[in-house]
Amino acid sequence: MKIAILGAGQVGSSVAESLVSEQNDITVVDLDAQRLRALQDRLDLRTVTGHAAHPSVLREAGIEDTDLLIAVTQSDETNLVACKLASRLFNVPRRIARVRAADFLDNPALLGRDGFDVDLAICPEQVLTDYLVKIVEYPEALQVLDFANGRVRLVAVRAYEGGTLVGRPIREVRRQIPSVEVRIVAVFRGERALPPEGATVIEPGDEVFCLAPAGAIREVTRELRGADRPVRRVMIAGGGNIGLRLARALERDYTVKVIEHNKRRCEVLAERVERALVLAGDATDEELLAEESVADMDLFIAVTNDDENNIMASLLAKRMGARRVVTLINRRSYVELVQGERIDIALNPAQATIGRLLAHVRRGDVVAVHSLRRGAAEALEAVVHGDRDSSAVCGRRVEEVELPPGTQIGAIVRGDRVLMAHHDTRIEPEDHVIVFVADKRNLARVERLFQVSPRYL
Amino acid sequence: MRVAVAVHLASVLLLGFAAAMAVPLAVSLALDDGAGGAYHLAILATAATGAVGYRASRGRAPELRPRDGFLFVVLVWTVFPVFGALPLLAAVPQLSFTDAYFEAMSGLTATGATVLSGLDALPRSINFWRCALQWLGGMGVIVLAVAVLPILGVGGRQLLKAETPGPMKETQLTPRIAETAKGLWLIYAGLTAACALAYWAAGMDALEAVMHAFTTLSLGGFSPHDASFAHWRSPAIEAVAIAFMFVAGINFFTHFAALYRASFLAYRRDAELRGYFALLAASVAAVTGYLLAHGVYADWQEALRHAAFNVVSIATTTGYASADYGAWPLFAPLWMLFISSFATCSGSTGGGIKMMRALLMLRQAQRELERLIHPHALIPVKLGGGVVENRVIFAVLAYMLIYGATIAGITLLLAATGLDILTALSAAAACVNNVGPGLAEVGPAANYAGLGDFQTWILSFAMLLGRLELLTVFVLLTPAFWRG
């Protein structure tokens, strides 16, 4: 597939990075030649220097035969205009734009066919905020992902001593929690993926991925970790875009404190939040943290735009007694450095937000894609089309589908019903199938399965 | 010369005031109540003064600056009572000028304190004139809220700016003020008409319905009966009064915004209105319970009826009475008088410091407490979703200080002239808040006739102070104002 990415910022580069590994033709456009060179050194792709909304620049990027345009520059306006140009002048079939301003997003007509003609408008900050809100709601989970419009959720949980399922083989799950249909789709011990078979024993420290109906998540996590106190107090370090959105999303249900070092930004924050307490100061200031009793915090979330500050503030907060710390880290190498040691959840914003975008790039009818374990694994929701003759999946029992190793069909959503997949569950047309892919290298094969393939026609 | 501008405008207004006196004259002629003669001289004197003032000040810089506004309103509210008192002087036997001036001031400031007894025996047109004075005063209050009070920092619409549409956004002494005022007067007049109809439907005769509508919407409280609303003993009439007193205590800009957009959203967004309603509801409930507990009324319905009417009446600074609440156990009337000092919304016809200032002070106090716990926190004072500037907070603080000092000062002055402390305090509060009846010697069963001349003048001044929100008057006493 030919893909044009406008903007080589954080989102642009991580999109490029995750797509380039899947053998697409990628062209990246940016004003900053140096940034493009750095990207080109790392990845096998083409770059064009110039303004992303100028037709001549787009033409130079080969827009005429591009299949997908991803406009993720800093500016909403540039992204929107680029989408319009791509649709009107160059007939690009699919266009994705990053749009931050709620004013634009709240206006369907503006983004529609007669407006800027955007197929998908994503706001990374909002996606990230939703992601963090879920972590607050399910403090036991490392990650909570929605499928089938939130009817099914995938949770990643670190197993702890004391959880009733810990130290037992997977097959006993049904006996332990008979009331809930739950399926363990993967177990990671360190970097190694264990086969999620009946005999596999869950040990403390394992990262366990479970699929369950949305309402049952809490019960499942409890069995793996023992009961946790619910979150009541949250401290947010950094009052930028994400900090503000997060504070506003949480302030009704939790006691929220926001620390921001820029005085003027503090005034803006204080004006826009309703109940959250805005504190002027440095998140790495031990005295300030002590004064605001960080030790009583159930959750400390560092979302400043500086990786080092986030890490330092989180480490400090953890040492001073915060129950759990979540840290936003842009540099991938840092994520691997700190996750699981003293920082409970290290979050790479690009990884967290890229899922919705990736769903559009996939072959086959893919509704949702979520990146797991820092991009090493993936979970996707695909729609089954065709019939027994034209599809490799349709009309077959789960055990009959030829899945690559490490790949699991976890659940099937049929209309409003959620079915946990058993070996004899038959897959019907228009089912949404949720597939867990432990090794990303097998992704292409999984996608091919869900295509209505000419081989079968 | 600035005085000339103020005199010029006041003279024009005085001519209008003279014309307004033709209405009670017409009433008098129609009813043949024998007071017709009282108006001839009054109209003549008022019109002549207006004309002289107009001629004398013509041609002098007609542009009105904010500062001149202070002089203008003080001039209007001190001089007009003189002329408003003329018909009373002529028609009521043995009325001194001091008392007549007090009565007219009480009318034009929509206070409702009276020195007259035997109201039922007065010519009906004289009672009509008293009520009309309050209604005209109410109109003046609305203009104050539009034009003058914003300069003091907390006006009727300071916080409504975002809520009000188009031409009402700016707050300056511009031609737009006239437009705004017209819109608000229309609402005021419309509500008055609705109120009169409701009274009439509830059983008053037409003229009395109009008179009471006048004094209800202006939150004045004059009644042509000595017994006030106890004259009827009608729950229906009391219900109408409660409803319209409540409505008149709401910011007229909120009414305007609601009407303009034909939606109740403006009411729901008005933070002041929430406080006003909550305070009244809680107070009615508390006083009802208190009256029952002390056995003042045997059954709860009667207790609720009288508590609702008198609490709303006093809290909204109207001053009607359906019972001698002065005879209730002391907590109830004291509480009613206390909340009258801040219950009504800014931009309404009510008196006192207004709910907005009270809320701001409450938030400011909360903020200081929170600051003790979180020294690094940034806590803005918010009202209705918007952040209130510190400058406004300081202005309100200063206002509160002056308000407290004024009440204390007047109370002490009255006590020094021989009044007992309850009478002195309640009279001071009732006049500064433009409520009307106080307690003890000036309570709902008595009136202000028993006071000496000096005390009466003090209280006339107190009503003026309260109506013009103190600062407007006090600023004239500063030398800097005159130095220019």
CA end-to-end span of chain A: 23
pLDDT at A364: 65
Q: What angle do CA B303, B304, B310 make, to 5 degrees?
A: 90
Closest to B126 in 3D by CA, of B221, B28, B231, B30: B28
- Coil, helix or strand at residue B435: coil
Neighbours of A55 (CB within 10 A): 13
pLDDT of residue A21: 66
Burial class (CB in 10 A: 0-12, 13-18, 19+), A455: exposed
A128-225: CATH topology is Alpha-Beta Plaits (3.30.70)
Name residues of chain B where pLDDT drops below 50. 154-174
Element housing B335 (H / E):
helix B331-340
> Do A279 and B387 lie within an 8 Å CB cutoff?
no
Contacts of B387 in chain A (CB under 8 A): 270-271
The answer to whether B210 and B129 are in contact (CB under 8 A) is no
Confidence of residue A235 (pLDDT cuts 50, 70, 90): very high
pLDDT value, residue B60: 60
- Is B376 in contact with A277 (Cβ distance < 8 A)? no
Structure tokens at A325: 């710390």
pLDDT of residue B63: 65
- Between CA B450 and CA A393 the distance in angstroms is 101
Q: From chain B, pick out residues whose CB is under 8 angstroms from the CB of A267.
A: 378, 380
Tell me which residue of B320, B317, B318 sits closest to B306, measured CA to CA: B320
- The answer to whether residues A437 and A402 touch, using CB atoms and an 8 Å cutoff, is no
Fold topology of A352-456: Alpha-Beta Plaits (3.30.70)
β-strands A25-30, A417-420 pairing: unpaired
* A298 residue type, one letter: D
Cβ contact (<8 Å) for A267 and B378? yes
List of residues 6+ apart from A83 with CB closer than 8 A? A69, A71, A95, A97, A116, A117, A118
pLDDT of B157 reads 44
Picking from B375, B377, B382, the nearest residue to A278 by CB comes out as B377
DSSP secondary structure letter of residue B382: E
Residue B132 tokens read as 């009309």
Q: Which two tokens stand for residue A399?
A: 């055990």
Chain B residues lying within 8 Å of A269, measured CB to CB? 378
How, if at all, do strands A207-213 and A152-158 pair? Answer: antiparallel
Which ranges in B341-378 belong to alpha helices (H)?
355-373
Q: Using pLDDT thresholds of 50, 70 and 90, give the confidence band for residue A22.
A: low
Tell me the pLDDT of chain A averaged across its residues: 85
CB atoms within 10 A of CB A232: 12
Residue A109 φ then ψ, to 5°: -65, -35
Which of A265, A278, A284, A289 is the mutation pick for testing B, counting most B CBs within 10 A?
Answer: A278
Residue type at A287 in one-letter notation: E
A237 CB near a chain B CB, below 8 Å? no
What is the mean predicted confidence (pLDDT) over A118-129?
86
Judge contact between B349 and B219, C-beta under 8 A.
yes
Which chain B positions have a beta carbon within 8 Å of A279's beta carbon? 374, 376-378
**Other beta carbons less than 10 A from residue A243's beta carbon:** 28
Q: Helices marked H in B144-294 — which ranges? A: 175-202, 206-217, 235-248, 252-261, 265-269, 271-293
Of the partner residues A270, A291, A292, the one whose CB lies closest to the CB of residue B378: A270
Q: A72 vs B161, which has greater pLDDT?
A: A72
- Give chain A positions within 8 Å (CB) of B366: none
Structure confidence by residue, pLDDT tens digits, A197-216: 778 888 888 888 888 888 88
* Nearest Cα residue to A158 out of A181, A194, A180, A187: A187
Residues from chain B contacting residue A278 (CB–CB below 8 Å): 377-379
CB atoms within 10 A of CB A308: 12
The DSSP bridge pattern shows strands A417-420 and A407-414 to be antiparallel
**B369 vs A: CB within 8 A:** no
- Judging by beta carbons within 10 Å of its beta carbon (0-12, 13-18, 19+), is residue B10 exposed, middle or buried? buried
φ, ψ dihedrals at A347, nearest 5°: -120, 125
Contact B376 A279 (CB under 8 A): yes
pLDDT above 70 covers a percentage of chain A that reads 96
In this predicted structure, the answer to whether residue A177 has a pLDDT above a threshold of 50 is yes
CATH for A2-122 (3.30.70.2660, 3.20.20.10, 1.10.630.10, 3.40.50.720): 3.40.50.720
* CATH 3.40.50.720 intervals, chain A: 2-122, 233-349
Exposure string over B159-184, b if 16+ CB within 10 A, otherwise e? bbeebbeeebeebebeeebeebbebb
Over residues A302-351, the pLDDT tens digits come to: 999 899 999 999 999 999 999 989 999 888 778 878 876 678 888 888 77
How far, rounded to the nearest angstrom, does the alpha carbon of residue A376 sit from its chain's CA centroid? 13
Flag whether residue B374 sits within 8 Å of chain A, measured between CB atoms. yes
Q: Which of A100, A72, A95 is nearest to A83 (CA)?
A: A95
On whether any CB of chain A is under 8 Å from the CB of B378, the answer is yes
User: Strand, helix or coil at B250?
Assistant: coil
A249 touches chain B (CB under 8 A): no
Q: Give CATH superfamily name and number for A233-349.
A: NAD(P)-binding Rossmann-like Domain (3.40.50.720)
Say how far apart CA B131 and CA B84 lie, in whole Å.
Answer: 11
Kindly compute the dihedral angle of the four CA atoms of residues B125, B127, B130, B133, in this order, to the nearest 10 degrees.
-50
Name the pairing type of β-strands A141-147 and A2-6: unpaired
Integer-rounded Cα radius of gyration of chain B: 22
State the ipTM, two decimals: 0.71
Query: How many angstroms separate the CA atoms of B320 and B313, rounded?
Result: 6
At A333 the pLDDT is 79
Grouping H, G, I as helix, E, B as strand and the rest as coil, residue B143 is: helix
* Minimum-distance CB partner of A277 among B374, B382, B387: B374
B377 touches chain A (CB under 8 A): yes
Q: In terms of C-beta density within 10 A (0-12 exposed, 13-18 middle, 19 or more buried), how is residue A44 classed?
A: exposed
Token pair listed for B316? 């909204």
Residue B150 CA from chain centroid, whole number: 17
In this complex, which of B374, B376, B387 lies closest to A271 when CB atoms are compared? B387
Q: Are strands A233-237 and A255-260 parallel, antiparallel or unpaired?
A: parallel
Q: How far is it, in rounded angstroms, from Cα B192 to Cα B109?
A: 17
Closest by alpha carbon to B152, among B401, B433, B396?
B396
CB of B407 within 8 A of CB of B462? no
The whole-number average pLDDT for the span A254-270 is: 94
Minimal CA–CA distance to B141: which of B317, B394, B277? B317
In three-state form (DSSP H/G/I as H, E/B as E, the rest C), the secondary structure along chain A is: CEEEEECCCHHHHHHHHHHHCCCCEEEEEECCHHHHHHHHHHCCCEEEECCCCCHHHHHHCCHHHCCEEEECCCCHHHHHHHHHHHHHCCCCCEEEEECCCHHHHCCHHHHCCCCCCCCEEECHHHHHHHHHHHHHHCCCEEEEEEEHHHCEEEEEEECCCCCCCCCCEHHHHHHHCCCCCCEEEEEEECCEEECCCCCCECCCCCEEEEEEEHHHHHHHHHHHHCCCCCCCEEEEECCCHHHHHHHHHHCCCCEEEEEECCHHHHHHHHHHCCCCEEEECCCCCHHHHHHCCHHHCCEEEECCCCHHHHHHHHHHHHHHCCCEEEEECCCHHHHHHHECCCECEEECHHHHHHHHHHHHHCCCCEEEEEEEHHHCEEEEEEECCCCCCCCCCCCCEHHHCCCCCCEEEEEEEECCEEEECCCCCECCCCCEEEEEECCHHHHHHHHHHHCCCHHHC
Nearest to B378 among A278, A291, A292 (CB): A278
Using the beta-carbon criterion (under 8 Å), do B379 and A267 form an inter-chain contact?
A: no
**pLDDT at residue A116 greater than cutoff 50:** yes
| Length of chain A as a residue count | 457
Interface touch B376/A271, C-beta < 8 Å: no
Chain region(s) in chain A for CATH 3.30.70.1450: 128-225, 352-456
